[in-house]
Amino acid sequence: MARVEERLREEADRCYQWSNGPGFEYETHSHPYRKVLYVERGAITFTPAGRQPIAMTAGDRMDLPAGTAHGAIVGPDGVTCWEGQAKRA
């Protein structure tokens, strides 16, 4: 799905793709930059600290402000995402 990568590269730098298997869990962490993420395949639920979980599936996009503490849990079929550092306006 090259369109996902193309869309991300229009709005972000340092773009890369990553994947994880079913049920993989990311511990709570943060990034010093505004993160833009697209789900290419599968599903993942992000768990921002102090906020409702954000369930995402293929085609969904998330904009995560710099410094936002969050974790994530991969869905039952795994996930493939593209993410990058949002370009400065």
Kindly report, residue by residue over 26-79, the tens digit of the pLDDT.
Answer: 999 999 999 999 999 999 999 998 899 999 999 999 999 999 999 999 999 999
Task: Tell me if 71 sits within 8 A of 46, measured CB to CB.
Answer: yes
SS3 39: strand
Q: Which domain holds residue 69?
A: 2-86
What confidence score (pLDDT) does residue 89 get? 66
Residues 6+ apart with CB under 8 A from 35: 62, 63, 64, 66, 83, 84, 85, 86
Number of structural domains the chain divides into: 1
State residue 1's pLDDT score: 52
Confidence grade of residue 80 (pLDDT, cut at 50, 70, 90): very high
Give the number of other CB atoms < 10 A from CB of residue 39. Answer: 21
CATH code of the domain covering residue 28: 2.60.120.10
Three-class DSSP category at 7: helix
